[in-house]
């Protein structure tokens, strides 16, 4: 029982989603704001030091924005 209570506290302390915002700047560029608590969570999938290059896209017909690590293609 004590172990389950400890795990519940640990999971409750994690932030896996939060309310962000998509802005259009005056120069016409777009900026995606990710809340601090989400970006600083230990399980956040990106290391941002001081920035991270990401791949942003979407699938036609789906109302989700995909953000992934940008991986440079190396030639063999």
Domain-embedded: residue 5:
no
Pairing of strands 21-24, 30-33: antiparallel
Domain-embedded: residue 64:
yes
Q: Record the tokens describing residue 38, joined without a space.
A: 């989400």
pLDDT for 9 = 47
Whether 39 has a pLDDT exceeding 60, the answer reads yes
Average pLDDT (1-26) is 72
Range of the domain at 32: 21-69
Structure confidence at residue 38 as a pLDDT band (50, 70, 90): very high
Number of domains composing the chain = 1
Can you give the pTM of this predicted structure? 0.67
Whole-number average pLDDT of the chain: 84
For the stretch 46-63, pLDDT in tens is 988 888 999 999 999 999
Concatenated DSSP letters of 3-70: HHHHHHHHHHH-------EEEE-TTS-EEEE--HHHHTSTT-S---SS---EEEE--TT----EEEE-
């Amino acid at each position: 029982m004590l172990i389950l209570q400890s795990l519940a506290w640990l999971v409750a302390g994690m932030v896996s989603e939060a309310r962000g915002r998509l802005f259009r700047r005056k120069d016409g560029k777009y900026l995606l704001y990710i809340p601090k608590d989400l970006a600083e969570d230990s399980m956040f999938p990106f290391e941002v030091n001081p920035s991270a290059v990401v791949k942003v896209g979407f699938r036609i017909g789906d109302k989700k924005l995909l953000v992934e690590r940008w991986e440079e293609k190396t030639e063999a």
